[in-house]
Amino acid sequence: MGSDQPKERIELAAAYRLIAHQKMDDSIFTHISAKAPESEGQNAFLINPYGLRFDEVTASNLATVDIDGNILRDSHGAGINKAGFTIHSAVHAARPDLHCVLHTHTVAGVAISSMEEGILPLNQWALQFHNRIAFHDYEGIALDLAERERLVEDLGDRKVMVLRNHGLMTCGRTVGEAFGLMFNMERTCRAQLKIMSSGGTLRKIDPALAEKTAQQYENWDKQHSGNKSDPQWDAFQRLAIKHYPDLVN
């Protein structure tokens, strides 16, 4: 890549650019966080500096913050969004198995989060998440650190969460896993809204078949995530660097 930036910073910057590329960002709000290189602090994580659009994030301008909210590195000088810290620090502190946390406020995601039904088993995309989604009730803008305990209790051992009346959150053992889950969640939400607005009769998939398909997704994930190569994430990173080569700086 021709960069002296750590891999952790480059991958996270690529995720920011890809979320913007897919039009899943929300001005200067929402966040993607990932564990920082060990050299930057114990139990520290990387997050976007407050005030930057996702298409402005680079490997070098990502801020480093610890679990207690102390900023360890901030080349941009604007600090971080307190609401973003509340949500992301909660997950990083409670789930050491997870490397990355991705939160969005897309129109489709907010729409589905505002529906009691949530995601319905209507197609193959949706079945990846069958009985695998956590839910957290809305408590206002996430500025109260006390909410962290309730959020991680609701998340449990899952990697995907619908923040009721708010948006979506995905978590991954890698940046690629968190991004891939959000990419599929977003498409699932968009497809469901299209189906529901069509006026056609919903054709739900049998629960047993839905569970079988969800397990098939999990088996694929076991082969292509964690410490092993993830061909989808590799392809997405090539896309990010092709269109936004400055992200590695």
> What distance in Å separates the CA atoms of residue 91 and residue 94, rounded to the nearest whole number?
5
> What distance in Å separates the CA atoms of residue 129 and residue 120, rounded to the nearest whole number?
9
- What's the distance, CA 17 to chain centroid? 13
User: Beta strand pairing status for 32-35 and 133-136?
Assistant: unpaired
Q: Per-residue pLDDT tens for 142-164?
A: 878 889 999 999 999 999 999 99
The structural domains of the chain, with segments of one domain joined by +, span 7-248
> What distance in Å separates the CA atoms of residue 16 and residue 53, rounded to the nearest whole number?
9
Q: What is the pLDDT of residue 2?
A: 63
Q: What is the mean pLDDT of each run of 10 residues along the chain (249 residues)?
A: 86 98 96 96 93 96 92 84 85 95 98 96 97 97 88 97 98 96 98 97 97 94 68 96 97
| Secondary-structure breakdown of the chain: helix, strand, coil percentages, each rounded to the nearest 5 | 45, 15, 40
CB neighbourhood size of 112 (10 A): 24
End-to-end alpha carbon distance in the chain: 10
Q: Which DSSP symbol is given to 29?
A: B
pTM (2 d.p.) = 0.94
Using an 8 Å Cβ cutoff, are 193 and 117 in contact?
A: no
Using an 8 Å Cβ cutoff, are 1 and 10 in contact?
A: yes
H helix or E strand, kind and range, residue 169:
strand 167-172
Q: What is the pLDDT of residue 108?
A: 98
Q: Per-residue pLDDT tens for 110-121?
A: 999 999 999 999
Domain boundaries 7-248, CATH class: alpha beta
